[in-house]
């Protein structure tokens, strides 16, 4: 018995000293998810927020997101998410007034894993310190950021999350340049994760602006394992397909991207007739209803497993 105890202590000591020798990897599950703003038309079409967000919560919990950037949510949607995800909190302000009004680019994070050291927001415009529209954008667009510290390891990193304009082509290019500038100003050399709905895919200039200087990498291109059977926009149509990825996770070279995935989860709502489906080669005891397949947002979430040696 004493020998077993001594052996256990010896093994624990080896692990402890190895980790304190800065050789133990830090693992972070990060994601980006445009959750779609809550609106009347979606509700009429069967895609109301009240139906969708419990599925979104399930996705977050099942896949174990540690930290994730969201886009489009109004304050009541964020509060619904926070109430359902009691182990998470969020940072970020409304784009209309810098407080609670308008859509947010909020960042959710696990409070048991991360400490917020600093946080902030800026608008993608010529006047980034105040609520504003920039260049040829049709709406005010905001980027929220946080300086996070892992409570168990002390590892620190920056997390930026944004939603670029869907119309302004010049605004998207200049927003990409502004974000690069802000990362350098705020970053002070810290590792960086940048998530968001960029409203531009991997074949256009704003994407190139973000990756061509070597300070950020597309996690899709850098990953060891990729699971992406679709692009990231679905227009609430579960059978749609696109090669375009307009939702991205960019990381600084500090991170090793072990896995990258586009999660195409669906759920079902029962059809009006609520009839049983005709099935073949199926036991008679099984009850299969005629249902409609739905997706929990008009975007699919992007998730990555990151690792870094501290």
Categorise residue 46: left if φ over 0, alpha if ψ from -120 to 50, beta otherwise. left
State mean pLDDT over 231-254.
97
Q: What residues does each domain of the chain span?
A: 24-112+191-273+289-309
Mention every residue, 6+ apart, whose C-beta is less than 8 A from residue 261. Answer: 226, 227, 228, 302, 303, 304
Lowest mean pLDDT segment, chosen from 9-13, 98-102, 241-245, 259-263 = 9-13
pLDDT per residue as tens digits for the range 182-194:
999 998 899 999 9
- Token digits for 229? 């059977």
Mean pLDDT of the chain: 92
The pTM score is 0.91
State mean pLDDT over 259-267.
98
Confidence band of 1 (pLDDT split at 50, 70, 90):
low
pLDDT per residue as tens digits for the range 150-177:
999 999 999 999 999 999 999 999 999 9
Which CATH fold would you assign to the domain 24-112+191-273+289-309?
Deoxyribonuclease I; Chain A (3.60.10)
Provide the H-helix boundaries in 188-252.
205-211, 219-222
């Amino acid at each position: 018995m004493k020998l077993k105890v001594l052996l256990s202590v010896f093994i624990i000591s080896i692990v402890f000293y190895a980790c304190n020798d800065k050789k133990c990897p830090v693992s972070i599950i990060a994601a980006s998810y445009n959750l779609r703003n809550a609106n009347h038309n979606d509700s009429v079409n069967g895609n109301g927020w009240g139906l969708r967000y419990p599925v979104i919560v399930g996705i977050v919990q099942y896949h174990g997101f540690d930290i994730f950037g969201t886009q489009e949510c109004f304050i009541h949607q964020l509060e619904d998410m926070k109430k359902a995800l009691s182990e998470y909190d969020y940072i970020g302000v409304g784009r209309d007034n810098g407080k609670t009004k308008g859509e947010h680019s909020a960042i959710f994070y696990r409070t048991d894993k991360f400490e917020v050291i600093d946080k902030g927001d800026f608008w993608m415009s010529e006047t980034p310190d105040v609520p504003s529209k920039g260049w040829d954008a049709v709406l005010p667009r905001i980027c929220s950021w946080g300086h996070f510290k892992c409570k168990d390891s002390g590892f620190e990193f920056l997390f930026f999350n944004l939603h670029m304009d869907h119309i302004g082509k010049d605004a998207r290019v200049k927003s990409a340049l502004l974000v690069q500038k802000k990362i350098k100003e705020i970053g002070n050399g810290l590792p960086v994760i940048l998530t968001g709905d960029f409203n531009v895919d991997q074949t256009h200039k704003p994407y190139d602006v973000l990756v061509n200087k070597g300070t950020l990498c597309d996690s899709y291109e850098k990953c060891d394992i990729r699971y992406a059977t679709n692009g990231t926009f679905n227009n609430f149509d579960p059978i749609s397909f696109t090669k375009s990825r307009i939702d991205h996770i960019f990381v600084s070279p500090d991170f090793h991207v072990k896995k990258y995935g586009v999660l195409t989860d669906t759920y079902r709502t029962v059809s009006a007739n609520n009839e049983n489906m005709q099935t073949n080669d199926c036991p008679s005891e099984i009850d299969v209803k005629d249902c409609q397949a739905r997706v929990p947002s008009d975007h699919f979430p992007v998730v990555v497993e990151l690792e870094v040696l501290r």
